[in-house]
Amino acid sequence: MSQAPLWPVLDDYGLHKVPLRFYWLLLLLLRPYICWVLVLTLPQTQRDMLALFYPQQTDFILACAVAAPLLLLLAALSQRKPKGNRGWRHIWRFGRGILLLVALADLVLTIADLPALVMLDAPWRMAAPVVLLAGVFWLLRSRTLRAVFAEWPDAVNANSTKP
């Protein structure tokens, strides 16, 4: 009776499983698009909700421009399966760098957008920079994430067929 190793955790395709923190970080970084979709689903009378998160239109446009490369990464993630399009492999290989650059840019923009007396007026606004900073440190130090971005289903299947 053979025992399967406890680490690394593999998915159904034999690849390293994408950590749940990766999806949480994607949600955090894609928040301008998520807000946009939420506002589009609201009735016409309540469409001013976007102004609560992005008081100036240029802030929203800049946030969407910063997060735009993550849409490519999200598309590559959807193709990370044996019958997926192999062309996305090249974007996936640079995914950790893309995530890191977007997280750093988002962190800088979020900190620059904070009011002068944020700790006195609205300390809850410090949550996003703190979580972004934790995400940047995780991206820099995670060995599992390096392994996830280094593999693609075709390479795993080719290595498993060799004697």
Tens of pLDDT, residues 144-156: 899 889 888 865 4
Number of domains in the chain: 1
> Does pLDDT of 71 surpass 90?
yes
Across the range 70-84, mean pLDDT stands at 88
Q: Is residue 122 part of a domain?
A: yes
The pLDDT confidence band at residue 72, using thresholds 50, 70 and 90, is very high
pLDDT score for 8: 66
> Does pLDDT of 162 surpass 50?
no
Domain enclosing residue 78, as ranges: 20-151
The residue whose two tokens read 């995400």 is 135
CA dist 93 and 96 (Å) reads 8
Q: Is residue 83 part of a domain?
A: yes
Q: Is residue 13 part of a domain?
A: no
Q: How much is the pTM?
A: 0.81
- 106 compared with 125, residue with greater pLDDT: 106
